[in-house]
Amino acid sequence: MTRGPKLLFLATVLAGGAALAAPTDDLAAPHLDVIPRTAEESARIARIVQPASDLTAAEPFEANPAGAATVRARSDADAFSLPSGNIPFERELDFKVGNGLFRKLWVSSPSSTRASDGLGPLYNARSCQRCHLKDGRGHPPEGPDDDATSMFLRLSVPAAPDQEMSEIEAFLLSIEDATPRTRPEPTYGGQLQDFAVQGHAAEGKLGVTYEEVEVELSDGETATLREPTYTVENQGYGPLHPDTMLSPRVAPPMIGLGLLEAVPAADILAHADPDDADGDGISGKAQIVWSFEHDRPMLGRFGWKAGAPTIREQSASAFAGDIGISNPIFTAPGGDCTDAQAGCLSAPHGDDEVRGQEIDAEGLDLVTFYSRNLGVPARRDIEDREVLRGKQVFYDTGCASCHTPKFVTHRLEDQPEQSFQLIWPYTDMLLHDMGEGLADHRPEGRATGREWRTAPLWGIGLTEQVNGHTYFLHDGRARSLLEAVLWHGGEAQEARDRVVGMPKPDRDALIRFLESL
């Protein structure tokens, strides 16, 4: 297949992307109305985002991890549900209407509530809020009677050698670190839907069992990890393909997404080192995905493997896959239904001549605006001696090699909330090999079955307050921040081993620092 000009540019980016300049950044989101930085601004930003050299006191502006968009740290479960701290008054109504759509319970078709029908027929949840509980983190089933509403299984099978390739697949297969091509499971589609509207059978139920693994730590301390095994029970449409790959995913927190979207792609690519040229053992690489909205390759930013390039596309994908709601980007009224599910495809749906898809462009834009502007809470206890000691441990241990503390966002003409903010998300938004322990053995784009996007850490210390649990990582297997650290492997193995071997007071200080984020 002949490469188009955009893919030729992409080849240049992936070969030496660190030198990419923002004004020619073709991997950036084209919907952002960017004001180019001056040379003086770029030099000033480079100084600001350098790692701190003195960690004995809090850094300037560290209390506000989202810059001017930071919100006050509430002491209740609504800590993740406030609009950006700098949102103009006239835009608050859009935020509130978007919140209403985010929380709306969809119903099956046909229905007298024409603005809310179109659910399913197969689905994982009836609203966005049902997965992103209080705009926070989902959790795995907590017992045999608990459903998995805020967690689901991605499904895929290896692509047959003779299956037609997309343009982006053809390109990715031409580079050295190409991953095997995959396709959705032929009967069940791209994810397991464990609910169905009346008259239809659910696809199945996520099953999980755990094996306890004890880890010895320094100073006589021990920790117990739980190693999960996933199955699909009560398969409603026949057996899964024998080569099906399962990847569990809990819903991630929603805070700060607009700021992550506003980080220049060039600044993210500057941290990429896919061949570990500097020899530090860290080899983050950029995820490159095809944007269905913009019809071009773009930098992946959102999702556990950075599989979505923009908030709007991620939202549209969730509407289609999780709720079965058609939209301007993913227009199929049957959501994730496959050709093998004829009853699902022929079921009534909510598309009509007035609104078009089941959620129209205006509704999708409002949900996108809401998702873009969920505020990041202010830091707590940043001058506390143990927190400062934990920050020093965080740096000394090597955690900041992937959990990059600081970025400065684009200057944006029409997004004042995200424009030119110094932010502290503690992520490089790159893919990293996390070892066999966390592997799902399911490739996705450029991500191998062992690679995951570095998860942002801002707000992580408020998880229990917002969601009533402390389950972490992509599948919620870790029951504490310490367990999450101990699951790190691959590129993070040396850092993990340092945590195991360090004096207990240092380990406690590290956790205390994470709790302050």
Kindly list the distances between the CA atom of residue 301 and the CA atoms of 33, 261, 324, 454, in Å, as whole numbers in the listed order.
18, 7, 23, 10
pLDDT at residue 18 in the model: 37
pLDDT at residue 160 in the model: 86
Q: Is the pLDDT of residue 12 over 60?
A: no
In this structure, of 52-61, 376-385, 397-406, the range with the lowest mean pLDDT score is 52-61
Using 50, 70 and 90 to split pLDDT, how confident is the model at 22?
very low
Kindly list the distances between the CA atom of residue 437 and the CA atoms of 27, 190, 383, in Å, as whole numbers in the listed order.
32, 24, 36
pTM across the whole model:
0.94
250 is written with which tokens?
Answer: 């809990």
pLDDT 10s digits, 286-311:
999 989 999 888 999 999 999 999 99
Average predicted confidence (pLDDT) for the chain: 92
Distance (Å, whole) CA 455 – CA 17: 22
Instruction: Pick the closest to residue 252 from 426, 136, 146, 386 (CA basis).
Output: 136
CA atoms within 13 Å, Cβ hemisphere of 103: 10
pLDDT at residue 340 in the model: 96
End-to-end alpha carbon distance in the chain: 47
Q: Is 28 exposed, middle or buried (0-12, 13-18, 19+ CB in 10 A)?
A: buried
Q: Is the pLDDT of residue 384 over 70?
A: yes
Tell me the percentage of the chain whose pLDDT exceeds 90: 83
Distance (Å, whole) CA 389 – CA 281: 25
- C-beta separation of 12 from 297 below 8 A: no
pLDDT at residue 19 in the model: 34
Give Cβ neighbours of residue 435 (< 8 Å, ≥ 6 apart).
450, 488, 489, 490, 492, 493
Using 50, 70 and 90 to split pLDDT, how confident is the model at 28?
low
Considering only residues 61 and 26, tell me which one the structure prediction assigns the higher pLDDT.
61
pLDDT at residue 414 in the model: 94
Distance (Å, whole) CA 104 – CA 127: 6
Using 50, 70 and 90 to split pLDDT, how confident is the model at 5?
very low
pLDDT 10s digits, 244-302:
999 999 999 999 999 999 999 999 999 999 989 999 999 999 999 989 999 888 999 99
pLDDT 10s digits, 131-162:
999 999 999 998 777 777 899 999 999 998 88
Q: Is 242 exposed, middle or buried (0-12, 13-18, 19+ CB in 10 A)?
A: exposed
